[in-house]
Amino acid sequence: MALETERPLALTMTEDEFATWCDEDIRAEFVNGSVVLMGTVSLLHADVNGFLRAVLRGYLELHPHGRALSPEVAVRLRAGLRRVPDLLYLAAANRSKLRPNHIEGAPDVVWEIISPDSEERDWRDKLPEYEAAGVPEYWIVNPYIPTVHLYHLEANGKYQRVNEQDGRLASVVIPGFWIRPEWLWQEPLPRVMDCLRELEATP
C-alpha cells in the first residue's frame, strides 16, 4: 500500500470532481466513485521506500532507461481507478503517458510496500488491478514479515512470479537492475553507493 494508514472517506464523487478536488495538498486514491484518503507512514515503511527509491534513482542516473517516480505521483489505470503506488518506474519510451498531475495508463513497474492494515488490499485488490491494466512488473515488499515478491506480466496477460537467483531478484523490465532482498532488512540499511557498486552501476 502506498501509505501506512488508509481511511475511506464518507465521500463519493465523479472522477472529474475528484481530479479537481485532489490537489497537491490532498493524498487520496479514487476507486469506482469512492475516495480513499491516505494517511501517514511508519518509520520502517518510509525507510524501506526511501532506500529503494535512492537505489533505483542512482541506477537510472548512470543507466538512463527511464524515470523513477515517488509516491506523490498518481496513476490513472483506467477510467474510475486512480492509485498512488509507493514507487514506480516509467520507461523512456512511455514518456507520453506523463500528465501534469498523474500518469495516464499503466507505468512499467510498480512497487507497493505492505503496511499492517494493507496486506489484503495489496494482494486482493491491487495485484489484479495492475494485472488487468497491463502493468508489466509488480513488486510487493513486506517489511514486517521480511519478504519480497516480484511478478512479471506474461504474454497471456497473467502475472508469473519471478524467483530469486543467487540471492538476487532481477527486474525483467529495467535492463540490468536487481536487488538483494536482504538489503531491505539490514539495520542500519546499507549504503546506497555500496549497493550501486555491487550492481556494477558506478563509473
Per the confidence metrics, is the pTM higher than 0.85? yes
What's the rounded mean pLDDT across residues 136-155? 96
pLDDT of residue 37: 84
Q: Among 50, 87, 92, 91, which residue's Cα sits nearest to residue 70?
A: 87
Alpha-carbon distance of 25 to 10, in angstroms, equals 19
Alpha-carbon distance of 137 to 174, in angstroms, equals 10
Query: pLDDT per residue over 82-104, tens digit each?
Result: 999 999 999 999 999 999 989 99
Residue 42: pLDDT band (50, 70, 90) is: confident
pLDDT of residue 27: 84
pLDDT of residue 7: 46
21 sits in which H/E element: helix 15-21
Residue 203: pLDDT band (50, 70, 90) is: low
pLDDT over 70, % of the chain:
91
17 sits in which H/E element: helix 15-21
Contact 74, 28 (CB under 8 A): no
DSSP state of 165: B
Report domain extents, the chain.
41-198
- Superfamily per CATH, domain 41-198: tt1808, chain A (3.90.1570.10)
Distances, alpha carbon 51 to alpha carbons 45, 46, 47, 85, 127, in Å: 10, 8, 6, 15, 23
pLDDT higher than 70, residue 58: yes
Number of other residues whose CB lies within 10 A of the CB of residue 151: 21
pLDDT of residue 117: 64
What's the rounded mean pLDDT across residues 20-46? 88
Q: Which of 36-45, 59-68, 86-95, 115-124 has the lowest mean pLDDT?
A: 115-124
